[in-house]
Amino acid sequence: MRIDVLTLFPDFFDVLKGWSIIGRALSDGVFSLNAVNIRDFSKDKHKRVDDYPFGGGPGMVMKPEPIYDAISSVKSDESLVIYLSPQGKIFNQELANSLSKERHLILLCGHYEGIDNRVVENYVDMEISIGDYVLTGGEIPAMVLIDSIVRLLPGTLSCEESYKDESHYDGLLEYPQYTRPRVFNGISVPEVLLSGNHERIREWRKCQALRNTLLKRPDMLNKYKLSAKEKEMLDRMKKSK
């Protein structure tokens, strides 16, 4: 995968080059990352990229010309242009899974009061928000997308199971995890995990994933397609509450 980030702060993304799993995936060639400075495309002698909004109002708006030229400098037929915006579709695991199958992502980071809407309407394929709140710019949301998507690419993690059992991937929250020591402050690891019985462990984990989801995010169960056995597990949990 190729990722181009259009930003006023390209140095912001240097941290990814040495950052844990994502940095290793970058050095291993699993994906390529290019931060493009939108100011480089300004024709203003002071490299200004913003101006006052028509109609008045507070703040400044990013001008369309440098953004359009920045997009054009990296765009190809297989590119998907994403504008990180609080007005966009809320980012979730399903969307991350879908975007991980793309060949080329262009992530556009706005700033100030946003960008000229002619760019949004004519040159952006998708608007994405990482939540119902406002940040000072699109750089942090862009990093969230990069981290979430790149870890799904083949070669980033050691095996698919590393992410397929995680919260949200299949529509449920993840089951509880434990490691050594077996007893910590008088609290023991559940005996089933020490049994060596893989079928019992698998069933326990499914049951705990359902329990976690029921207790913490019951809204997710409205979209999850329960098997007959899972429905039976869930009914027992509800009756025992």
pTM of the predicted protein model: 0.88
Say if residue 144 is in the same domain as residue 220. Answer: no
- Return per-residue pLDDT of the chain as tens, 241 residues: 999 999 999 999 999 988 899 999 999 999 999 999 999 999 999 999 999 999 999 999 999 999 999 999 999 999 999 999 999 999 999 999 999 999 999 999 999 899 999 999 999 999 999 999 999 999 999 999 999 999 999 999 976 545 555 556 678 999 999 999 999 999 999 999 999 999 999 999 999 999 999 999 999 999 899 999 999 999 999 988 7
Q: Residue 131 and residue 116: Cα distance in Å, rounded?
A: 22
Say if residue 18 is in the same domain as residue 107. Answer: yes
CA nearest to 7, candidates 138, 201, 96: 138
Residue 160: what pLDDT?
A: 59
Termini Cα distance of the chain? 46
The reply to whether 159 falls in a domain is no
Q: CATH number for the domain including 57?
A: 3.40.1280.10
Q: How many domains does the chain have?
A: 2
CA nearest to 62, candidates 85, 89, 28: 85
Say if residue 128 is in the same domain as residue 227. Answer: no
The reply to whether 155 falls in a domain is no
> Residues 129, 85: contact at Cβ < 8 Å?
yes
The reply to whether 160 falls in a domain is no
Residue 161: what pLDDT?
A: 47
The reply to whether 157 falls in a domain is no
Say if residue 141 is in the same domain as residue 182. Answer: no
CA nearest to 80, candidates 123, 32, 125: 125
The beta strands (E) that lie in 52-195 are given as 61-62, 79-90, 104-109, 126-129, 183-184, 187-188
Say if residue 134 is in the same domain as residue 183. Answer: no
Residue 177: what pLDDT?
A: 94
Residue 166: what pLDDT?
A: 53
**Residue 183 belongs to domain spanning:** 165-240
The reply to whether 108 falls in a domain is yes
Say if residue 75 is in the same domain as residue 171. Answer: no
